[in-house]
Amino acid sequence: MMGAADAEARYRAVLWRLEAYFASRTDVKNWEKLFLNGGCFWFAQFLHWRIRNSCLMINRAEEHCALAFGEGLYDITGQVSKYNFHPASEREISFMKKNYIPRFDVKKLEQYLESSSLADTGFYCYGDLQKIS
């Protein structure tokens, strides 16, 4: 069973790789905003398939998605307040897939993350990557 520390380490590893990916892109400034304006569902789902016992959460008032694991709720900025968040239903997940559209090349980013050192650290997927797209 994955502990909270391991889940946090996986979360931090993805953040580190995202920072490295976007640092190499001169056309993107403030890359974190991409995951607050459309990319939040992609980010949460990407992590969800890699962190056991995690839960996709939605805040309908702010139209924002985050991932609950361990004792916290996380998005691209780190641990966030659980206020107004609830576990996303299948209907809400379908809504997010259709409406929370990332403003970056998902396929290129996924290829980078899958080919990066994440694989070397035992960072594997619990779900099917094809479901992301």
DSSP codes, the chain? ---HHHHHHHHHHHHHHHHHHHHT-TT-SSGGGGGTTT-HHHHHHHHHTTSTT-EEEEETTTTEEEEEETTEEEETTEE---TT-EEPPHHHHHHHHHH---SS-HHHHHHHHHHSTTGGGT---SS-GGGT-
pLDDT (0 to 100) of residue 115: 85
| Total domains in the fold of the chain | 1
Name the residue with tokens 């939605």. Answer: 58
pTM listed for this prediction: 0.83
pLDDT (0 to 100) of residue 56: 97
> Is pLDDT larger for residue 28 or for residue 104?
104
Residue numbers of the domain that contains 13: 4-131
For 85-106, the pLDDT digits (tens) are: 999 999 999 999 999 999 999 9
Q: What pairs with residue 39 in β-bridges?
A: none
Amino acid present at 40: C
Stretch 56-84: mean pLDDT: 96
Dist. CA 81–CA 83, nearest whole Å: 5
Residue pair 22/28 in contact by the 8 Å Cβ criterion? yes
> Is pLDDT larger for residue 85 or for residue 123?
85
